[in-house]
């Protein structure tokens, strides 16, 4: 990924991970928990959401270990207190899935915008601007589908594990959650020793994003120069 690619990638990734965390906090608020609001995390200010590991080091590590094939990251996790939810189990599942649902919605919106910008790009005056924005939307589809799949990994404390625990016997669920103390270390080991496992897990997301982009591909020529 060259400098031009980074100019397209970084803003889209930053927006996507912030939207993901904002969705968790907003969903928690709707379920009766004001923790994220009180902590000042229901904001679009990126400074409030940047995490040294998830936002900086993890993307760099993924880029290095995957030889540029996968670059993902995250924002600082939004604090929530499930004890405040009106209905603990239902509320926890809703809040846990709010981030990935948001990523799916962003991917769908980006797909629609690719089409709209492709139509706008038929005008010579709008073609350059439409091309840049269209390339960013293309990146948005890819990134958000990958974020969706990555966060559904059943490795505590990722979102997928927060759903899985509710379908386990209580004792096993407690031990499963305790794995979260080593979750990041487990993730790093998977990335280093078994990257193919991660590739297999992310493959369906890549298939879906390819299908979405394929549906609007006739309108993509405007962005061709920026996607090379």
pTM value > 0.85: yes
193 or 155: whose pLDDT is higher?
155
Compute CA distances 157 → 65, 101, 142, whole Å. Answer: 22, 17, 23
The mean pLDDT value of the chain amounts to 87
Q: How many domains does the chain have?
A: 1
Q: What are 8-40's pLDDT values in tens digits? A: 788 898 899 999 999 999 999 999 999 999 999
Exactly one of 21, 33, 92, 159 is catalytic; name it. 21
Q: Decide if 21 is catalytic.
A: yes
Residue 228, pLDDT score: 54
Distance of CA 45 to the CA centre of its chain: 17
Compute CA distances 222 → 116, 128, 217, whole Å. Answer: 11, 8, 10
Domain extent, residue 148, equals 3-227
pLDDT confidence tier of residue 147, bands split at 50, 70 and 90: very high
Q: Is the peptide bond between 47 and the residue preceding it cis, with omega within 30 degrees of 0? A: no
Please tell me the total number of residues recorded for the chain in this structure. Answer: 228
Residue 7, pLDDT score: 75
For residue 87, pLDDT beyond 70 = yes
Neighbours of 193 (CB within 10 A): 9
Residue 152, pLDDT score: 95
How many helices (H) and strands (E) would you count in the chain? Answer: 10, 0
């Amino acid at each position: 990924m060259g400098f031009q690619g980074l100019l397209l990638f970084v803003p889209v990734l930053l927006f996507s991970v912030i939207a993901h965390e904002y969705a968790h906090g907003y969903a928690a608020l709707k379920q009766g928990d004001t923790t994220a609001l009180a902590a000042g995390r229901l904001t679009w200010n990126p400074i409030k959401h940047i995490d040294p590991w998830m936002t900086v080091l993890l993307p760099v590590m993924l880029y290095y270990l995957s030889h540029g094939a996968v670059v993902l990251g995250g924002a600082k996790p939004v604090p929530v207190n499930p004890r405040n939810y009106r209905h603990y189990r239902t509320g926890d599942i809703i809040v846990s899935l709010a981030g990935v649902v948001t990523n799916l919605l962003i991917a769908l919106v980006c797909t629609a915008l690719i089409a709209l910008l492709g139509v706008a790009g038929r005008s010579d005056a709008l073609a350059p601007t439409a091309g840049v924005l269209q390339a960013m939307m293309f990146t948005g589809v890819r990134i958000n589908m990958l974020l969706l799949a990555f966060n559904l990994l059943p490795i505590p404390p990722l979102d997928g594990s927060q759903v899985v625990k509710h379908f386990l016997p209580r004792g096993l669920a407690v031990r499963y959650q305790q794995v979260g103390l080593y979750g990041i270390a487990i993730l790093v080991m998977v990335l280093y020793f078994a990257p193919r496992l991660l590739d297999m897990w992310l493959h369906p997301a890549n298939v879906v994003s390819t299908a979405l982009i394929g549906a609007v591909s006739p309108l993509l020529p405007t962005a061709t120069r920026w996607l090379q």
